[in-house]
Every structure is written in structure tokens, then in C-alpha cells.
Chains A and B, each alone.
With several copies, the nearest count.
Chain A
Amino acid sequence: MLPEMTEINLQPFDVEKVRSDFPVLAQHVYGKPLVYLDNAATSQKPQVVIDALADYYTTYNANIHRGVHFLSQKASQAFDDVRVKVKEFIVASSEREIVFVRGTTEAINLIASSWGRVNLAAGDIVLVTTMEHHSNIVPWQMICAERGAEVVPIPMDDCGVLDMQAFGTLLTDRVKFVSVVHTSNSLGTINPVKQIIEQAHARNIPVLVDAAQTVAHQAVDVQELDCDFLVFSGHKMLAPTGVGVLYGKEKHLEAMPPYQGGGEMISSVSFSGTTYNEIPFKFEAGTPNIADVISLGVAIDYLNAMDRKAAAAWELTLMKLTSEKLSALEHVRLIGTAKEKSAVVSFIVDGVNAMDLGMFLDTLGIAVRTGHHCTEPVMHRLGIPGTVRASFMFYNTAAEVDRLVEGVKKGIQLLRA
């Protein structure tokens, strides 16, 4: 095993340099250096992103778009610039296709509610996968309950790989929408979304891609994917909490009714009738999260400025290293072993409760997540109550992997006693 690991470790990525951009990583927890392996829950933020917030509030905080004064102009310009950055980041064809939301969950709710209310009818089916995050299940359940439609999951196998044959069979005339996770947050599986989109489009069915776990880790090109909608959260890609992106093809956004009403999304209001603003503003009611949108732009700049290929390779290196070392331990079983996989390692230990192990690792300063990771159907499918999950970002190190593995070893000793 050693030669292979050495080879793996030779990826040309200067992780120590990158780490120094993330102040939180220098933390000590219970007197021990923090090992942050809960990146799928939320990523840490580089100093430039934190500084952008302080800079905004210290020098040009103002409400945007309707103000004629300097601060408002400056804030509006900064805000609008981010829409262009996001457009370029996911290679959309127009910034009219970029809607700012609170996060992935809100984006999916917006689409389910707005698209669903006018397009779903009794007997219709919305296809999702068994490995969806709850945020890509519940909004569809809610609108389907209202419209008399049904949410049906595409099954997966024991390794956490989507059953594409079953997908073909499930893709009947009753299916009106397909909403799939690109990268599973609990298993790491990367789904063949391009193929799914092709097959769905062959039947004129629109497809939403939940890219919450994707955008920080690999390049996304919505035109190449040809997805109808793509959604993600800022907080999982180095940006602050409270901001996310909904991409939608112009034709869909134009046709969809507004979701929330209020300031910004209207063109004119009277009690005899209100006319809505054009896209994307039609979907942005109320004062937006200005500061966090601006910081999202800085996060995108940060990602763009780095060698993303090297970063991605480094993350996969860490994932492989962890998988190898953990699976070599007695009683440990990896959960989610798809070939196409992101830097997420989920595992269980025979005879050890996941939360107990997670708490033990916490006592050592190691942050992992435990439980169902908001994907209960995955756990149900695999017949387990939950997993311990270590999820990586490019700023993690091989030494941290070792500390995790050591911790798990000790934890097993203690907890299987």
C-alpha cells in the first residue's frame, strides 16, 4: 500500500500556502489543533471573503438599485457585477438567468412552487433520486401533494450508484420534471447528470441539477450540461451563509410566475393591478442579501485565481488516502463506494454508534458530521441509521487524514470496549 500512497501524495498542490488564507483553520479546539472535515456541511472562508464583508459595511453599505447617491451606486455596481461573475462561473448565456436566493433549499422551493404550480397536474410524476438531500425531496412532496402529483425516486445500488436502467424505465409519459443531485452529500457519488438530462430532454422533460456539493469541487458548465435549472449555496463554496444561486434557462424563468412579491420585483404597483419586473428581478423580492452576494463574488474570484485542477486532484487524493486507511481498520465499512466520487468519505463502524464516534473525534479536535446528513432515504435504503462523514476541501492535509484515522482507531478501542 505504501508506494501507492506515496504516489498519491505527490500531487503538486501547496496546501500550506492555501491554508494560510483560511483563518479559522488555525483554531485550537480543546487545546488541540482543529481538524475541520465537515466541509460538505459548510466550507470555511478565505480572509478575502471575510474582508469583503467588513469592507462593504465599513465603506459603502447602502440599499441598492433605486438610490441615486454615491454609496447606493457603488453597492449596486458591486452587486450587479457579481451576477456577471456567477454567469461566467457556471457559463450561463446571460446574467438574466441568474437569480440570487438564500441557498439551495430556497432555490428548489422557488422552482417547485413557481414552476410546479402551473405545470404539475394530478397523476404527474416528479422524478428524483434515492440519494437526494431532503431539500430536493420535501419541496416536491409539498407541491405534489397540492397538485395531486407524485414524487418517485430513481433507485440506487448498494454502492450508492444510480440505477440508470431503472431511470430509463421510470421515464414514462407521466414524468413532468426530473430533479437530481449532482454530487451526493452523504455518499459522495457523482451522478451522470449529462446523460440524465439527455434522456429527459428526449422526452421534453426539464431537469434541475442540485449542484450544492459540486461547484466548489469541479467545473460546471450549464450550457454544456444543457440543464434547465441548476442551484447551489454560497456557504458551501467559500462564500458567506445566506446567499445562493438559482440558474434557470431564460425561457423557463420568463414563463414562470413570480414566487415572492414585494419591493424590487415589481415594475409598478396599484390596487387595480401590479406589473412585474423582468427576469431575474421578478424573482428577487425585497432587499437582497447585498453584502453576502458581494462576498460571493469574492469567493468566485478566489476560486478562479487558484489552480482548480490541482485543488480538485488534491481533494481526491485526500479522499482516496482516507478511504484506504479507514477501510484497512477492523470493523470499519465505507458507505458510498461509487467509482465517480467526490471528496466525501462516509463510514460506519460495526458495534459503534456514529454519534458516539463523532463526539469522540470532537474531543480530539476533529470535526466530522454524523447521522443521516439530511438524506434519510439513503440510510433507509442501506439499512443503516447513519454514518460518520469526513468531507474534504482543498485546504485539508494528509496529516489531518492521519489524525482522523488515528482518532477513529482510538475511538473504536474505547467504544467497542
Chain B
Amino acid sequence: MIAWWKELKKEFNYYVHNVKDIATLEKEIIEDFSLFDDWTEKYQYIIELGQKLKPLDDQYKTDDRKIKGCQSSVWLHAYSNDGRIYFDADSDSTFVKGEIALLINVLSGQKPEDIVAAELAFIDAIGLRQHVAVTRANGLAAMIKQMKLYALGLQSQAV
């Protein structure tokens, strides 16, 4: 993939609703990560994503939006529009922001039922889980759980 196009596509995906389905987006991430040789490169790429993540408006950094179980502070804000769910998030950890960027890329703008059903196999496929999932320091599992809970909540609200 040509670099500038990849960039553009990513920015595009982050800030407007997703037009691709979850599976496709996961596949793209896996493709992106296949370029990296080792954990240092992956880490640096996730940091880059984190540095680029749109910051969350301070009004949303409330305690009820804070995710428990992370070593860092993580806030997740969700809203729905047109039957789709959008996420914004922030953290004091750039790495966590990078992880969130990956999750937002895949899940934001999707339909609630798809979010709830998503298995997010890409996390394993890109080798992220082995570095973060087993430690309670990193709240990746907690973030995913919270996103799904929002989707569940907004789904039932919509009904």
C-alpha cells in the first residue's frame, strides 16, 4: 500500500463513521502489523497511533466514563447516531491511546449488534495480547468490555 494513501485512509477511518465492516478493518490492521519485524516496531507504531488520536473533550473526562482496572487513567465516551455507535477516548498513557485508536478504528461507527458480536481476533493476530492482555496493568480487556457494554446499552435503548 502506498504510504500516503494508507495514512489518509486511517485518518479517514478514525474521524468519520466506518464504512467497512469489522472483519475487513481487522484484516487491514493485521496487514499493517505484518510489516513490522519485532515488538519494538509494533510498540512504536502503537505509540504513533496514540499520539495522533484526537483528544477527548475535557467535559467527557468524568468518573463514570473512567475505565476501572487499568494502571493508567482511561476515559471512554460513546454516542449513537443513525443506529451506529461512535467512540471517543483518552488516556494519560500514549500506548493505551494507541490501543484505543486500534479499537476505535475497528469498532467506532459500527452497528451495536456487530460490536457486541465482535471477537477482535486481530488483537491476537498482531501479537498484542501477549504483551498486554495478561497483565492487569494494561486495561485492554476492560476497554473492550466497556465498549461492548456501551453497545449493549445503546442497543437496548434504541429498541
Listed in ascending order, the chain A residues whose CB lies under 8 Å from chain B are 30-31, 64-68, 72-73, 76-77, 80, 267, 353, 355-356, 359-360, 362-364, 370-371, 385-386, 414-415, 417
B137 touches A66 (CB 8 A): yes
Listed in ascending order, the chain B residues whose CB lies under 8 Å from chain A are 38-40, 43-44, 47, 51, 68-69, 71-73, 92-96, 130-132, 134-138
What 8 A-B pairs come out closest when comparing CB atoms? A363-B40, A353-B93, A76-B134, A77-B134, A363-B43, A356-B95, A371-B71, A65-B136
A355 touches B130 (CB 8 A): no
Which of A64, A66, A364 is within 8 Å of B40, CB to CB? A364
The residue in B38, B72, B92, B135 that gathers the most chain A C-beta atoms within 10 A of its C-beta is: B135
B95 touches A355 (CB 8 A): yes
Contacts A30-B38, A66-B71 known; list 16 others, CB within 8 Å.
A64-B135, A66-B136, A68-B135, A76-B134, A76-B135, A267-B69, A353-B92, A355-B93, A356-B94, A359-B43, A359-B131, A360-B43, A364-B40, A371-B137, A414-B44, A414-B47
Smallest Cβ-Cβ distance to B131: which chain A residue = A73
B136 touches A77 (CB 8 A): no
B135 touches A65 (CB 8 A): yes
A244 to B70, CA, bound (A): 29
A417 touches B51 (CB 8 A): yes
B138 touches A68 (CB 8 A): yes
A26 to B136, CA, bound (A): 27
Known A30-B39, A359-B43: A415·B134 in contact at CB below 8 Å: no
Smallest Cβ-Cβ distance to B42: which chain A residue = A363
- Which residues from chain B contact A68 at a C-beta distance below 8 Å? 135, 137-138
A67 touches B93 (CB 8 A): no
- Which residues from chain B contact A385 at a C-beta distance below 8 Å? 72-73, 92
Which of B47, B69, B130, B135 is within 8 Å of A415, CB to CB? B47
A360 to B137, CA, bound (A): 15
Smallest Cβ-Cβ distance to B70: which chain A residue = A355
- Which residues from chain A contact B93 at a C-beta distance below 8 Å? 353, 355-356
Separation in Å of the A399 CB from the closest CB of chain B? 20
29 A–B pairs (Cβ distance < 8 Å), ordered by A: A30-B39, A31-B38, A65-B136, A65-B137, A66-B136, A67-B137, A73-B130, A73-B135, A76-B135, A77-B130, A80-B134, A353-B72, A353-B93, A353-B95, A355-B72, A355-B93, A355-B96, A356-B47, A359-B95, A360-B47, A362-B39, A363-B43, A363-B44, A370-B71, A370-B137, A385-B92, A414-B44, A415-B47, A415-B94
A360 to B136, CA, bound (A): 17
- Which residues from chain A contact B135 at a C-beta distance below 8 Å? 64-68, 72-73, 76
Separation in Å of the B131 CB from the closest CB of chain A? 6
- Which residues from chain A contact B68 at a C-beta distance below 8 Å? 267
Smallest Cβ-Cβ distance to B133: which chain A residue = A77
- Which residues from chain B contact A73 at a C-beta distance below 8 Å? 130-132, 134-135
A416 to B45, CA, bound (A): 15
A302 to B84, CA, bound (A): 49
Separation in Å of the A132 CB from the closest CB of chain B? 20
Known A31-B38, A267-B68, A415-B47: A353·B94 in contact at CB below 8 Å: yes
The residue in A30, A356, A414 that gathers the most chain B C-beta atoms within 10 A of its C-beta is: A356
- Which residues from chain A contact B40 at a C-beta distance below 8 Å? 30, 363-364
Separation in Å of the A236 CB from the closest CB of chain B? 20
Separation in Å of the B100 CB from the closest CB of chain A? 13
A271 to B136, CA, bound (A): 23
Separation in Å of the B18 CB from the closest CB of chain A? 27
The residue in A30, A72, A355 that gathers the most chain B C-beta atoms within 10 A of its C-beta is: A355
A385 to B136, CA, bound (A): 16
Separation in Å of the A266 CB from the closest CB of chain B? 12
Separation in Å of the B130 CB from the closest CB of chain A? 7
A417 to B47, CA, bound (A): 10
A163 to B16, CA, bound (A): 56
A66 to B138, CA, bound (A): 8
Separation in Å of the A134 CB from the closest CB of chain B? 14
A8 to B44, CA, bound (A): 36
- Which residues from chain B contact A267 at a C-beta distance below 8 Å? 68-69
Smallest Cβ-Cβ distance to A77: which chain B residue = B134
Smallest Cβ-Cβ distance to B50: which chain A residue = A356
A359 to B93, CA, bound (A): 11
- Which residues from chain B contact A371 at a C-beta distance below 8 Å? 71, 137
Known A67-B137, A414-B47: A363·B39 in contact at CB below 8 Å: yes
